[in-house]
Amino acid sequence: MAPWNPRTEEMPLDDLRRLQFKLLKSLVYRLYSFNDFYRRRMKEQQVHPDDIRALEDVAKLPFMYKSDLRDGYPDRIFSAEQNELVRYHVSSGTTGKPTVVGYTERDIENWSESLARAFSSCGLGRGDVMQVSYGYGLFTGGLGAHYGAERVGATVLPTSVGNTERQIELMQDLRVTAIACTPSYLLHIGEVAEKMGVSIKNDTDLRMGFLGAEPWSEQMRGRIEDWLGIRAYDIYGTSELSGPMFTECAEQQGIHIWGDLALVEIVDPATGEVLEAGEQGELTITMLQKEALPMVRYRIGDLTAVEEGTCACGRTHPRIGRIRGRVDDMLIVRGINVFPSQVEHALLEIPQVGRHFQIVVDRKGALDSMLVRVEVSEEAFSDKITDLMVIKKAVEHRLRSSLNVSVDVELVEPGTLPRFEGKSKKVVDRRSL
């Protein structure tokens, strides 16, 4: 698909790296001069802006964490005065105090530009109708996708989350061609549509989805694409970066991170050491042009790897692979690191059980126990207990071999595992530590 901004998107890698260095250097000087919080951090780490002599010197700079935003609540680490801001967003604060992010006019402009490049790399443009089923309001998803889609000339239908039957009616009546929402909400839409007697594949014009705000997998993509008859693209971002910012292109070979806006590093979650391209680690991003709330070496907590090299689509900017999980979602069960995404991957390879699951971790005596609850699929249900026990054992075996920890599987009735309309909560940890 044709680039939105060809000069930038197809810039030779050497030129891109020179541009990144220039932007980094001016960012660091600006912060050292005007941002009390980050100057203090740099002094603690005994690094001065003059120490940044090459792009690789970014590794000398101190990290930033989510806790820095919480501690600086609401706006103590901002680099702009309130009268320069055009918007706030506020994170939900499900894992602690809420965090506030602010935007100057230029921050909103760059956010929209980033998504305009992303959406057009998948072929979204004038003539499309984009249903934005991310939440509008304090959450960045709704307004972010909204501005990006308007920028490329698409017609936006701002449905936000909820009232799913109405969303499906509008999708049909207004001939929606694209949707932005969480993958679990799109599955929910598909299920509700079927109950209404509507096939998304045959009875709507929907042809693409921008799915994110929670981890999902290649197998899940395959199911969504086959079932709903659409192309499903991964979209990525967090409120600290601005919001949803980056997507895959039509090649579906990783998420393009626009290098003039964001500098990507992958670091070892334990040591903070920078890892090579291709190695899995914690995604760390420096926002090179953000004005209101600068983020330098921000440890996002998502696990992925970076891929360098020009994409088949011709864009030169680095790409990140699928998010493999959260550093802080990681469960430690009997000393073994377990990510819910691993369970999801394993289950998608077992047709006898459904795609929804719940993990329950408990402690019996001194020993951790891990239970995975799954729904028996319609095709696999048998009136014979022995057949069902075979399924249960097969799922236990499959999970054990991919997680390296023994797992009990519980077969539950269909529709009883929670379907969430937002970020999925798939883990119940009952251990009192």
Partner 1 sequence: MEKSYIVKQISIFSENRPGRLAAIAGALRDAGINILAFSIAEADGFGVVRALVDRPEDAYRTLTDLGFRVSFTDVIGVKMRDEPGGLSDIASILGDAGINIEYAYAYSGKDAAVLILRVDQVEDAVRQILARGGELLKASLSR
Ordered alpha helix ranges (H), 45-182 = 66-71, 105-121, 140-151, 164-173
CB of 374 to partner 1, least distance (A): 11
Distance CA 27, CA 368 (A): 47
| Closer residue to partner 1 in complex, CB, 138/371 | 371
Q: What is the DSSP string of 199-239?
A: -HHHHS---EEEEESS---HHHHHHHHHHHTSEEEEEEEET
Q: Is 46 helix (H, G, I), strand (E, B) or coil?
A: coil
CB of 384 to partner 1, least distance (A): 6
Q: Residue 385, interface with partner 1 (CB under 8 A)?
A: yes
- 56: Cβ contacts below 8 Å, ≥ 6 apart: none
Q: Is 90 helix (H, G, I), strand (E, B) or coil?
A: strand
User: What Å distances lie between residue 84 and 80, 148, 240, 339, CA to CA?
Assistant: 6, 22, 18, 41
Distance CA 301, CA 280 (A): 12
CB of 360 to partner 1, least distance (A): 12
Of the residues 94, 349, 383, 433, which one makes contact with partner 1 according to CB under 8 A: 383
CB of 189 to partner 1, least distance (A): 18
Binding mask 174-203 for partner 1 (x = CB under 8 A): ------------------------------
Q: Residue 378, interface with partner 1 (CB under 8 A)?
A: yes
Distance CA 104, CA 82 (A): 9
Contact region for partner 1 (CB under 8 A) — 90-98, 301-309, 317-325, 384-392? 384-392
CB neighbours of residue 7 within 10 Å = 7
Q: Is 292 helix (H, G, I), strand (E, B) or coil?
A: coil
Of the residues 130, 376, 399, 407, which one makes contact with partner 1 according to CB under 8 A: 376
- β-bridge partners, 304: 281
| Closer residue to partner 1 in complex, CB, 138/412 | 412
| Closer residue to partner 1 in complex, CB, 222/415 | 415
Q: Half-sphere exposure of residue 325, counting CA atoms within 13 Å on the CB side? A: 19
| Closer residue to partner 1 in complex, CB, 235/399 | 399
CB neighbours of residue 152 within 10 Å = 20
Count, residues in the chain:
433
| Closer residue to partner 1 in complex, CB, 337/382 | 382
Contact region for partner 1 (CB under 8 A) — 249-257, 303-311, 377-385, 425-433? 377-385
Distance CA 83, CA 78 (A): 12
Q: Residue 381, interface with partner 1 (CB under 8 A)?
A: yes
Q: Residue 415, interface with partner 1 (CB under 8 A)?
A: yes
CB of 197 to partner 1, least distance (A): 14
User: What Å distances lie between residue 154 and 39, 139, 151, 173, CA to CA?
Assistant: 42, 22, 7, 17
Q: Residue 360, interface with partner 1 (CB under 8 A)?
A: no
| Closer residue to partner 1 in complex, CB, 14/379 | 379
| Closer residue to partner 1 in complex, CB, 364/384 | 384
Q: Residue 412, interface with partner 1 (CB under 8 A)?
A: yes
Q: Residue 163, interface with partner 1 (CB under 8 A)?
A: no
Tokens of 211: 């799915």
| Closer residue to partner 1 in complex, CB, 278/415 | 415
CB neighbours of residue 103 within 10 Å = 24
Q: Residue 427, interface with partner 1 (CB under 8 A)?
A: no
Of the residues 90, 361, 388, 427, which one makes contact with partner 1 according to CB under 8 A: 388
Of the residues 90, 411, 417, 427, which one makes contact with partner 1 according to CB under 8 A: 411
Which residues 98-137 are close enough to bind partner 1 by CB under 8 A?
none
Of the residues 15, 194, 328, 410, which one makes contact with partner 1 according to CB under 8 A: 410
| Closer residue to partner 1 in complex, CB, 312/385 | 385
Residues at the contact surface with partner 1, assessed by CB under 8 A: 376, 378, 381-385, 388-389, 392, 410-416
